[in-house]
Chain A
């Protein structure tokens, strides 16, 4: 037995090859199956929105991944499942806003009509008007005279009209207001398309720390610090500072800023408190963050960044919504085989053309028809008229005639279908790779995949379809959900 070690070795190696092969394919298949059926954890969207303890859902993610649509679809679904919901959108596409009846900017939630469901649910929606939100804060926290001084200040007008950070801050402010009214049992928030996806977390703190920071005191130095003897040393430094600022900003702008700051003085404490309260609200147990992404490299990289940042800030992450995932009902047919088959069909068509006739047909064809064949390059019409002929002659001949007489030629169409399928399978593979990279980095994050719709969504029916797909979550074969 051991006389032929080489042979044994080769046997062994064959065996190990074989086992490697089957082993390789088994674990691979296994890993594949694991990936497909359980990419990480599956995010159960319905459990999330049905849970009465869930009071706030925040949708965040980079631009163009479908945040607003996801927020609207979640809100609609929750309402149709019986909850009283308000959706706060930041900058919805016009037709989506129209479909929800919130295309007028009045900064107040409007009830959305014609939703289905058990009847106890309600959907309200609003679009954020950041300037008005800012104005309302001022009006609520200052007496009339002071409020109008602030509202008319040119510096304030620019600040509130939407420069860096204001939108993020106001979105969070509005969220705090809606929550405080306690009229809804679920608030779904869309986040602003920030230059940095995380600005909305930072903005409240930033604005808060500016508003009660040292700088404010410097700006107010001429007005306030002036008289105090003990502050004399500081005062020199500060007037030098205001001098520098004045030089930079121009005297008149500095004066505008100073009047603004003086008028806002009483409100600073309030801003800080509110910013802190909103931040704590986001960390509270009733809040769930959903990171939204599409299965593309950039979007998922941003999503990973988000996941890490939310964890660092102790924000409760519910999971990842992966939008526009493609699937195929014919996933058993690989891209390579589909392309090879398409080439087969192309070749047979070339052969057919050389023969002057569609190949499959000639065997069934009455020989007398053959002489017509030379004109066939442009001759699909001829083929067509013959179809009619053959059909009238005998219905038994129908099966073969279907095969070659339909126009445009079936082979060409089929080859096209196969090429389309090959492209789909490649897209699938690419999406899978991108997603796997994310899952490998963050296996703890639950994922809900939303299979792609061929068109855009801009009505309630479309939102409902998205909601269904969201709830279908991950089934590894997203086409099945379609």
Chain B
């Protein structure tokens, strides 16, 4: 089991939800996990229905069996000041740098420095040990940037190490890269059964592999329940006469089956919805095939009927455990 689990995915696929569910799933049976947010969106706080997270590790949930989930929203500016303080005792100079706009510069404009700080902080949490030599966290789960940016985000340390050929940033970047490229790390991609996210997942995996970053699993999120079986779809829709459906609706207590009757008027819209379902179903099946060809463990999480809430999160965590992902 990799101790740094990075979760990425195209925008709108629910990667934050999956990351949170994974942190929860990995915390069961007395373990302790850290859920890390790097994009300053406060998505984790919203998901766990708590107030905005500060830049500090704080317990946000208890997992079944007594485990704990901690969360941390990394603020790059504070992370940089932290870092300066920790390594260089630059207290006053750090403040002066901030005044000059250097911190703002370093964390927003300077090439990759922001990303170095974010990945650096996560790697520090992975490696941190307590007094007894035990790891502070059994596992760190990162809600990472979207698929389109993930390789650059994780690989930025390589680039920075090249840019800063000596000095502490160079060393820091290399240390982070050693963690990220080792089996200690696994990068998971969240997708939907739709063409664009699947395509982006395939592209993302190719990029990760080219950069020698360890790809973990593909998680298909929001899978709709199968409501009509394939036989009904293929045979029923084409061969069943409209009048028979009207009569059946009528028999079920939905009004008259005559032309213009209440039940009869339901037939067209219901068949139209079924045709849409069939089209989507076929599309989903072909996308599932594409995902199958990626040669990675594939997991599916159901679309929650009531929308996403805290209870739903525990449900997804249970599902992940059931599928052996945690």
Q: Which residues of A contact B (CB under 8 A)?
A: 62-65, 91, 93-95, 154-155, 158-159, 161-165, 193, 195-196, 206-207, 209-210, 213-215, 218, 237, 240-241, 244-245, 247-253, 256, 294, 296-299, 301, 328-330, 333, 337, 340-342, 344-345, 348, 360, 399, 402-403, 406-408, 410-421, 423-424, 426, 430, 454-456, 458, 479, 482
Contact = CB atoms under 8 A, between A and B. Distances in A.
B109 A155 contact: no
Contacts of B232: 408, 412-413, 416
Nearest to A427: B305
Nearest to A203: B108
Given A165-B108, A253-B163, A410-B240, A416 B254 contact: no
A214 B274 contact: no
A360 B159 CA distance: 74
Contacts of A344: 251-253
Contacts of B64: none
Given A196-B40, A253-B163, A329-B268, A165 B169 contact: no
B164 A252 contact: yes
A162 to B, nearest CB: 7
Interface string B304-317: 01111000000000
A249 B97 CA distance: 13
A154 B252 contact: no
Interface residues of B, number: 85
A316 to B, nearest CB: 25
Interface string B150-188: 001000100100011111111000000000000000000
Interface string B254-277: 100000000000101111111011
Q: Is the interface of B mostly helix, strand, loop or mixed?
A: helix
Contacts of B43: 298
B84 interface: yes
Interface in B71-116: 84, 88, 90, 93, 96-97, 100-102, 104-105, 108-112, 114-115
B241 interface: yes
A113 to B, nearest CB: 24
A207 B109 contact: yes
B175 to A, nearest CB: 15
20 contacts: A62-B11, A62-B12, A154-B163, A161-B111, A163-B115, A164-B114, A210-B108, A215-B100, A245-B102, A247-B88, A249-B164, A341-B249, A345-B252, A402-B247, A406-B236, A407-B239, A410-B247, A411-B248, A417-B270, A420-B274
A308 B298 CA distance: 40
Contacts of B67: none
A424 to B, nearest CB: 6
B129 interface: no
A64 B13 contact: yes
Contacts of A402: 241, 243-244, 247
Contact of B196 (A93, A196, A418, A421): A93
B159 A158 contact: yes
A213 B100 CA distance: 8
B195 interface: yes
B1 interface: no
B93 to A, nearest CB: 5
B269 A206 contact: no
Nearest to B103: A215
B283 interface: yes
Interface of B: 10-13, 39-41, 43, 46, 84, 88, 90, 93, 96-97, 100-102, 104-105, 108-112, 114-115, 145-146, 148, 152, 156, 159, 163-170, 194-197, 199, 225, 227-229, 231-232, 235-237, 239-241, 243-245, 247-249, 251-254, 266, 268-274, 276-277, 279-280, 283, 305-308
B270 A249 contact: no
B169 A164 contact: no
A209 B101 contact: yes
A65 B11 CA distance: 8
Contacts of B231: 408
B248 A410 contact: yes
Nearest to A419: B227
Given A64-B197, A93-B195, A94-B199, 14 more contacts: A64-B13, A154-B163, A158-B159, A164-B108, A195-B145, A196-B39, A210-B101, A210-B104, A241-B96, A253-B169, A333-B254, A418-B270, A456-B196, A456-B283
Contacts of B166: 250-252
Contacts of B164: 249-250, 252-253
B82 to A, nearest CB: 13
A248 B235 contact: no
A250 B115 CA distance: 18
Contact of A297 (B148, B273, B307): B307
Contact of A247 (B96, B168, B283): B168
Q: Which 6 residue pairs across A and B have the least CB separation, nearest first?
A: A63-B11, A64-B12, A250-B167, A329-B269, A158-B111, A64-B11
Contacts of A253: 163-165, 167, 169
